[in-house]
Amino acid sequence: MSRLDSFIRRLEAQRLVLNWAAAAIADRDGPVLELGLGNGRTYDHLREILPGRSIYAFERKISANPRSMPPPEALVLGEMETTLPDFAARHGRNAVLVHVDATTGVPELDRVHLSWLPGHVAMLAADDALVLSGWELEHLALRAVPLPDAVPDGRYFAYRRNVAID
């Protein structure tokens, strides 16, 4: 498969998964977290399919298309290793959807460089929240759930946040 075909398939899978997740959380209140604003494509899609929903975007450097820029109060700038725990301390564990799109483009590297990320996601996701990721997340609080059949195997991964037992 050419890199162009692979890129197109990744974006198609992304759109399909985001649309599926938006429908799945429609009847739940709570914010959505976009981890990795980048160009802002998926952020822009999320705000289009989830009108009225609070959507926070996390990013270390601003490189989004101006049309996809979140309002200042919804953009959390800095290294997620520290901004995510800070955000959890301020807002609590109330996100109903977390979209993990912080990637180096090499899943093997992501697992090493972002090894702290699944724990941070678990710290932010409400009970039974949906978590989507372009690479596999391993954490005791996250259980894998099936994606729509049309999503090619291994392109995307979905999880539910286990109910916390206090």
Ligand X SMILES: C[S@@+](CC[C@H](N)C(=O)[O-])C[C@H]1O[C@@H](n2cnc3c(N)ncnc32)[C@H](O)[C@@H]1O
The binding site for ligand X (CB under 6 A) comprises 36, 38-42, 58-61, 63, 79-81, 101-103
Nearer to ligand X, 68 or 94 (CB): 68
Nearer to ligand X, 58 or 87 (CB): 58
Task: Supply the minimum distance, in Å, between the C-beta of residue 76 and ligand X.
Answer: 9
Q: Give the residue at shortest CB distance from ligand X.
A: 38
Q: What is the full DSSP assignment across 43-57? A: HHHHHHHSTT--EEE
- How many Å apart are CA 17 and CA 133, to the nearest integer? 10
Nearer to ligand X, 41 or 93 (CB): 41
Q: How far is CA 83 from CA 59, 91, 112, 150, in A?
A: 9, 12, 19, 34
Task: Supply the minimum distance, in Å, between the C-beta of residue 65 and ligand X.
Answer: 8
Task: Report which DSSP code applies to 25.
Answer: T
Nearer to ligand X, 7 or 143 (CB): 7
Task: Supply the minimum distance, in Å, between the C-beta of residue 28 and ligand X.
Answer: 22
Q: Is 119 exposed, middle or buried (0-12, 13-18, 19+ CB in 10 A)?
A: middle
Residue with tokens 């596999």: 136
Nearer to ligand X, 56 or 58 (CB): 58
Task: Supply the minimum distance, in Å, between the C-beta of residue 127 and ligand X.
Answer: 25
Residue with tokens 């180096």: 104
- How many Å apart are CA 60 and CA 51, to the nearest integer? 25
Task: Supply the minimum distance, in Å, between the C-beta of residue 9 and ligand X.
Answer: 15
